Amino acid sequence: MSTPFVTDEAIFSTLRKVFGFREFRPNQEQVVRAVLDKRDVFAVMPTGGGKSLCYQLPALLLPGICMVISPLIALMKDQVDGARANGIRAAFLNSSQTPPERDEVMRDLFAHDLDLLYVAPERFTLDHFRQTLARLPISMAVIDEAHCVSEWGHDFRPDYLSLSALVTIFPDLPVAAFTATATHRVQKDILDKLALRTPLVVRASFDRPNLLYDVRFKDNVEAQIVALVKSNPGKAGIVYRTSRKSVNDTAAMLQSKGFRALPYHAGLSDGDRSSNQEAFIRDEADVIVATIAFGMGIDKSNIRFVIHADLPKSIENYYQETGRAGRDGEPAQCTLLFAQGDIPKVRFFIDAMADEIERAKALGALSKVIAFAGNSVCRRRTLLDYFGEIYPHANCNSCDICLGTRDVVDCTREAQMLLSAIVRTEERFGATHIVDIVTGSANQKIRDFGHDRLKTWGVGKEHDKKYWRQLIDELLAHKVVEKSEGLYPTLSLLPKAVQLLKGEERIEIVRVLEKKKVAAIPLKAETALSLKLFELLRTLRKQIADEQGIPPYIVFSDRTLHDMARLCPRDAESMLSVSGVGEVKLERYGRQFLCLINRYCNEKQ
């Protein structure tokens, strides 16, 4: 039961009028009611699961100001813009503001003219800010990205440790902590660190059914990135690269091919980074190329694809980074390009770590990513298993494995060819040279060493070089061969190779079936007419967003526009039946969208 002054009618009326939804998503109602009962909450809810509604709705129903602590300054403005678009009185306080801007927020606070206040954890540690809080009618405290409090989490921030003081500072108010990613170990650590008082603990499913997971053998990475971006024309996407140089090079390469792409990493000036992010958020750039290590703070709901062109550091990172796609619930594709050759690059940075415990953690995390990329088990099942969740279905129908785009092929004979070539060249050459031997290359180096006279020269002509490079990757992964360190790494045999050469062991390779292409999950049944209307609505949304200086998705999400295009509402009442259209947005934007829909439908009659 919720507090007496908050009725069921008030809860559902606010859900409908402010947020434009007729019902809660899974777990939302449970969290909302707990907060209204002034109970602490810890909730693990995936990206796109509607965490913000869990505290924004109570913030409107409880007297006072809801304080939200968020680590991402770049994200706060978008969160505030999104709340204001729904008619919620929201503001933020952070170091990006000028003194007059901060003064204006403080005036609104003391005039009780705010429902929501977003602050950075660094500000919460300041004594004068805590003294200010004591003079304000705070209704509840919210900790966003709560995994940052755990040293076992993927994004530990020392400033978050100070948040354990919240339960002492607000002994009679609810404290709610939210995160999208936490293993059971991280969850226990967060609960211990924050010292929440008999909290409601919600652990939602980590499954994101609208995301398609696809792992491909990495070969000619630039061409692969171009092909993937080209298959998503005009759609928003993120390409992750490991280094700043590769980010700059990839962004420049995409620009040279005519794509609207921009780089994003810590080495850019604050101005460039901010303007590039802003262009992406406002649909003025389609692709952002970013370093994995740098937190982007992207709250864009209509990202349709994410490409990992290099290995992510951990499964948590991979889950969070892919989770930036499809936040609106519409289909999105997540592609990981993987080759064993990437592993030494990551190991180089791990080996440089001074702290042995941190190094061991990083190696353990890397091994799990390699296992995820290299196995032939349902990707969704593997991801959920990592977070301690059992996937109940035999086939997810939305990953490369379950869609049947992979086939397991016995390649023992071909492996013996490679091993024989390595032996016959006295283990003195690298992968490229060995592949040149088995494919029958007649280049100068092959002729100079007389390797065109070896018995293994040309024995593998029926397969292309990509096949042989992938097979070497498999041999490395299965510890059949090893690669030496240094500038010119050579291949040598390990004990397992002898068994393989004798035919006592077999080796299989997972191959992509050429005739089957991984396509994005199809949209709900749509006609050519509704897709055309969607594009017109999207253009109108961009015009309105530009006029108001806000990101387009804050006006309406892609999901809402798709609903409009399917339902074709012709008046205000039917417009309110569209998911995501509340009374405030109907009043602000309804007339323009209804005019467009009516004009379009009349022309098609």
Farthest-apart Cα atoms in the chain, separation: 90
Q: Are residues 63 and 180 in the same domain?
A: yes
Q: Are residues 437 and 557 in the same domain?
A: no
Choose the final residue of a domain: 144, 176, 203: 203
pLDDT at 407: 66
Structure-token pair, residue 473: 């990757």
Structure-token pair, residue 545: 């967003």
Q: Tens digits of per-residue pLDDT, 475-494?
A: 887 789 988 877 788 999 99
pLDDT at 156: 77
pLDDT at 377: 80
- Do the domain assignments include residue 518? no
Q: Are residues 320 and 423 in the same domain?
A: no
Q: How many CA atoms lie within 13 A of 56 on its CB side?
A: 21
DSSP state letter for 201: E
Look up the CATH number of the domain holding residue 458. 1.10.10.10
- Do the domain assignments include residue 148? yes
**Token pair 């109940």 in the structure block, residue:** 392
Total structural domains within the chain: 4
**Token pair 């991801």 in the structure block, residue:** 383
Q: Are residues 354 and 450 in the same domain?
A: no
Look up the CATH number of the domain holding residue 176. 3.40.50.300
- Do the domain assignments include residue 400? no
Characterize 290-313 residue by residue with b for buried, 16 or more Cβ atoms within 10 angstroms of its Cβ, and e for exposed: bbbebbbbbbbbbbbbbbbbbbbb
- For the chain, how big is the Rg over CA atoms in Å? 27
How many Cβ atoms are within 10 Å of 132's Cβ, its own excluded?
15
CA angle 525, 529, 532 (to 5 degrees): 105
Q: pTM of the full predicted structure?
A: 0.77
Contacts of residue 261, Cβ cutoff 8 Å, sequence gap at least 6: 229, 239, 250, 251, 254, 255, 285, 286, 287, 288, 289
- Do the domain assignments include residue 284? yes
Q: Are residues 49 and 172 in the same domain?
A: yes
Q: Which domain holds residue 87?
A: 8-203
Q: Are residues 195 and 234 in the same domain?
A: no
- Could you give the C-alpha distances from 561 to 381, 468, 531, 584, in angstroms and in order? 32, 47, 10, 17
- Give the separation between CA 318 and CA 337, rounded to whole angstroms: 12
CA 280 to chain centre: 15
- Give the separation between CA 17 and CA 584, rounded to whole angstroms: 7
Q: Are residues 70 and 179 in the same domain?
A: yes
Q: Are residues 473 and 592 in the same domain?
A: no
DSSP state letter for 76: H
Choose the final residue of a domain: 203, 234, 250: 203
- Do the domain assignments include residue 449? yes
Look up the CATH number of the domain holding residue 566. 1.10.150.80
Q: Are residues 177 and 226 in the same domain?
A: no
Contacts of residue 210, Cβ cutoff 8 Å, sequence gap at least 6: 48, 326, 329, 330, 331, 332, 521
- Do the domain assignments include residue 17? yes
Of 313, 408, 320, 431, the residue nearest 361 (C-alpha):
313
- Give the separation between CA 530 and CA 525, rounded to whole angstroms: 10
Q: Are residues 487 and 370 in the same domain?
A: no
Structure-token pair, residue 579: 């998911």
Nearest 10 degrees: Cα torsion 374, 263, 558, 51: 70
Choose the final residue of a domain: 512, 541, 572: 512
- The stretches in the chain having pLDDT less than 50 are 1-4, 514-525
Q: Is 67 helix (H, G, I), strand (E, B) or coil?
A: strand
- Do the domain assignments include residue 1? no
Q: Are 328 and 304 in contact (CB under 8 A)?
A: no
Q: Measured in Å, how far apart are the chain's first and last C-alpha atoms?
A: 51
Q: Are residues 14 and 80 in the same domain?
A: yes
- Give the separation between CA 276 and CA 266, rounded to whole angstroms: 12
Q: Are residues 167 and 86 in the same domain?
A: yes
- Do the domain assignments include residue 320? yes
